[in-house]
Structure 1
Amino acid sequence: MAPVVSRGGGRGMGAKERKEAAQREKDAGDEAYDEELYKRAAAHYAAAADLDPGDISCLIKRATANFSMNKVSSLPIPHTIPRRKPLRFTSPRAAGAFQCKECVTDCDEALRRRRRRRRRRRDARCGCDEKLAADALFIKALALLNLAVCAADHEPAITALEGSLELRPGSKETRAKLDMAKRNRDAFAEQERLDQEAAKTHRDKGLELLRKKKYKEAEMQFTEAIKRNPRYPKLCLQLLLFNFGIHLFMTNMITQNFSDRARCLIELNSLPKALEDANRCIELDDTLGMGYLRKGLVQIAMAKYEDAIATLVDGLKHDPQNINIHNGLRECAARIKKAKDSDAIAKDLTKVKTLSSQVEQLRSANERNAS
């Protein structure tokens, strides 16, 4: 079933008619939500929000419908959420990131409209208005928790839940969710701390083996160090460590693990895997020269000299004083010259062989004629 009034269809209506049409859309959305037709419900709520921009409950309902498109287990729901059917809560792996992001966007927009309306009208504190804001913050927090993959990702959700609880102090559901979010954040943080300590231990062992030119053993240690890093290291560490002033150091260490493993793989002549690690270095931090250096050296080993020059030049743009990149360019130039000389020698040898063959044929012909 399509929305009761299509978007833009209320332009010719008066204010009262638009509010009535918006209410019909909300009712239709509630019915669709009760039937677990969440996509249809979201469309109705969107139409209602267009018809009556001042009713922020339409946006909150659409956020709830978007969130409920992914369902595993049930949670109690605030009063603005559609009737009877419980809100669904999912793990980050099962949840649809797109719906969760849409949910956060709708809740933020609802809160923005509320602030703007209160400034314009200079409203006093309104109980109904605060309940709507509490609901928006609660649903936003659930969506953010679904998107969380490291300790730092829990902080915005915790802030939203604390704001919701401040507006509605008696909510047991919000209190329970806040306590759970804090426990999860602390568990993530502790695991990340342990993983980082283990990663440093493996890295130190890898560097020692690398100095001893035990490339296979070193490659295994760097692999273990990489496994111990967060799933999305650049994102998580940027959020988690920025306030402590060590973001750059930790990001560099993670990138160096891939760089050093690539170095081992080059020595082991495992060039495709080395190229993957070099690309990963650049992906993690494209402002560091080491990723470009490793990639360029792999391309030189693969005899892809033009690609190697382009890669190393890109590296110099970010790290112009890197002596190893300059050495890589010189090596590439020497390889190109050697390859050209080899081609010339090969062509000369081909000519010599051709002439020798022709001379042999003439000699054989002369011998046959003489006999």
Structure 2
Amino acid sequence: MDVEGALKEKELGNQAYKKKDFQTAIKHYTKAIELDNTELTFHNNLAAVYFEMKEYDKTIKECETAIEVGRENRADFKLIAKAYNRLATAHKKLGDLQAAKVGYEKALTEHRTPEYRQNLSEVESEIKKAAELAYINPELADQEKQKGNESFKKGQWADAVKFYSEAIKRNPKDSRIYSNRAACYTKLTAFDLALKDCDKSIELDPVFVKAYLRKGNVLKAMGQIQKAMDVYSKAMELDPDSAEAKTGYKDCAVRQYSTGGGDPEKTRERAMNDPEVQQIMGDPAMRMILEQMQSDPQAVSEHLKNPEIMKKIMKLKDSGLISMQYR
């Protein structure tokens, strides 16, 4: 064994590696191993060269040797972890995500670093994504959707949710399945989940009127009347002949009026329960604008030129707190 000679060869290998003269680096690292076969660093360095050359099978083999040599000679656990990490990354490059996951896990058992933790997290995410993609099957999604429809007709809402959820896993791009599940959640009075599904359905298909109608129904059931009216209004834009949208909007308008009962104090009380209205009324700049509008009704025309102020003023108008008369 020639430790001093091995270290000289390693240094020459490092110099060649930095110059990307990989063949020369291989020659020197291999010579270092011949002179001292108890040092895993030489194997780690050789593996690094193979990795840069995209020879991932050789990288893996050299990393395995490095780990074996390291174990036999009680090497620093940090060096063994480094070998496991490079081995895992080579597996990842070859597309073997499960082997990469195992490698990163072993690296972490030897030495926990943010880098190794991040590498494991990324490969786990890729494995999950690959599994989800492999699970997609529109034909099976339609079958599960049909089972959901049958359960819904029977009033078996929980069973329908289960079938629709499976259909979504099989075809997560079908906006109608989310809309159908939203209808189930509405029946179960799980309004937050229903809204989430309605929004996802609309995101996937912005012109799918049924999703807007269901969202409007949910908001109405939650007592968020103005928001429900806005959604019904959007549904009427998409389908001017929609009787359900017209009826929903009319019901909300009637409810909004009747809740106030024509009593300004009740109207104000109802409006101030809206967090958005509370925020607007708590803004000193908006209070100043409202005072100006009271003394000079024509001033509203100027304020409406500012989109943000216009939005706030219209919100107050819709809530019944203010009325506007301007030309």
Give the TM-score normalised by the residue count of structure 2.
Answer: 0.41
Query: Whose RCO is larger (CA < 8 A, sep 6+)?
Result: 1
